[in-house]
Amino acid sequence: MFALNTRALISSSFGRSLASAVPRGNQCYHGYHSKIKTTVLGGLLGTAAHRMYFEKSGAPISPWHDIPLVADVASNEYNMVCEIPRWSNAKLEIDTVLPFNPIKQDSKKGKPRYVADIFPYKGYIWNYGALPQTYEDPEHTDAETGCVGDGDPIDVIEVGQQICAQGSVHRVKVLGVVALIDDGETDWKVVALRTDDPLAPKIHSVGCLEKYMPGLMAATVDWFTKYKVPDGKPLNKWAFGSSAKDVAYAENVISATHEAWKKLVHLPQSKLSLVSTTVQSSPHCLLPSDASSVFKALTDSSPGQMYTDTPPKARADHKGSAASTKWHYIRGDVVANDTQ
């Protein structure tokens, strides 16, 4: 671990990249989820500058590096960071390049990205997020899928009854995993259920889902297969014939991606942001006081508004995105009701 004084930190390239991450003069919104404070800077959903940062005990943390992967060893519970609430369309993700890895809205040609509504679905059909302290290594070829990783934390689809808030952190139990092949990369999707869900005592595997949530796994495969077609892309492909692997297999995949993350954060340098405040064995770990000084520069001179569970009304989720203002009916690999 190394420590930098505040002046050196702010003048460093790290400080400059953090300070330029969000334009000045925008409102700052705070929320509290799962004992972790989240701060939205740069604008609400629908703005290219939207950033959600995480704090704990008064210091900024990375949702990728500083939230433990395992929530409870004895019961095999994991922590999930929710990036996208169910039924929403904004394509949100943990930014692996910006310092402290905020959640941001993905963009294309300077415009925020949304997923289309594909009949009969509305936006994302589960809570969508990531397991912290994991990494799908783009330089490692999986022996069974034959493809490299996608360079991100491993994805989670949480199938419980409650809609999770963006930036909330939840304990989940793993039910299985499917392997999407996206542009030649292995894109694992861990199927999980919040441990506080009413059905958690009864559902222990993907096989159990059909009894209590009939049709969900079939809909999951259908959605992932087709969701890029409205953007003019082909149907997505699958490993294992789109069949889900069991809990043991899923936990092996999670373990492997956790080991890949361990190697990543101990590299002397990377194009990704490896800054943390808790991974003390990493050369990129900062003292919380130093990290707080840099983070404070983002929020200074920005008017703040406090809220607990319900954020200020954001832009309509579909505004600015023609792709998500209508239902798209997919036939084969084309949009059947495309009028263009």
Say if residue 338's pLDDT is above 50: yes
Q: Which pLDDT band holds residue 2 (cuts at 50, 70, 90)?
A: very low
Say if CB 235 and CB 333 are below 8 A apart. yes
Residue 308's Cβ-side half-sphere holds a number of Cα atoms within 13 Å equal to 0
pLDDT digits (tens, 9 = 90+) for 144-176: 999 999 999 999 999 999 999 999 999 999 999
> How many whole angstroms separate alpha carbon 329 and alpha carbon 338?
8
* Peptide bond connecting 120 to the previous residue in cis, omega within 30 degrees of 0: yes
User: Helix (H, G, I), strand (E, B), or coil: what is residue 171?
Assistant: strand
Predicted pLDDT of residue 48: 82
* 19: nearest Cα among 41, 1, 35, 44: 41
Mean per-residue pLDDT, 114-118 = 94
Say if residue 239's pLDDT is above 60: yes
Q: Which residue has the higher pLDDT, 72 or 261?
A: 261
User: What phi, psi does 83 have (nearest 5°)?
Assistant: -95, -40
Positive or negative: CA dihedral 4, 7, 10, 11: negative
> How many whole angstroms separate alpha carbon 19 and alpha carbon 155?
28
Mean per-residue pLDDT, 317-329 = 58
Predicted pLDDT of residue 18: 52
- Cβ within 8 Å of residue 30, ≥6 positions away: 37, 38, 39, 40, 304, 305, 306, 307
> How many whole angstroms separate alpha carbon 158 and alpha carbon 149?
21
Average pLDDT, the chain: 84
Predicted pLDDT of residue 34: 58
Say if CB 101 and CB 61 are below 8 A apart. no
CA distances from 25 to 43, 53, 294, 300 (A): 10, 17, 17, 9
Residue 252: Cβ within 10 Å count? 12
pLDDT digits (tens, 9 = 90+) for 14-59: 555 554 554 444 455 555 555 788 888 877 888 888 889 999 887 8
Q: Which residue has the higher pLDDT, 185 or 31?
A: 185
> How many whole angstroms separate alpha carbon 178 and alpha carbon 242?
7
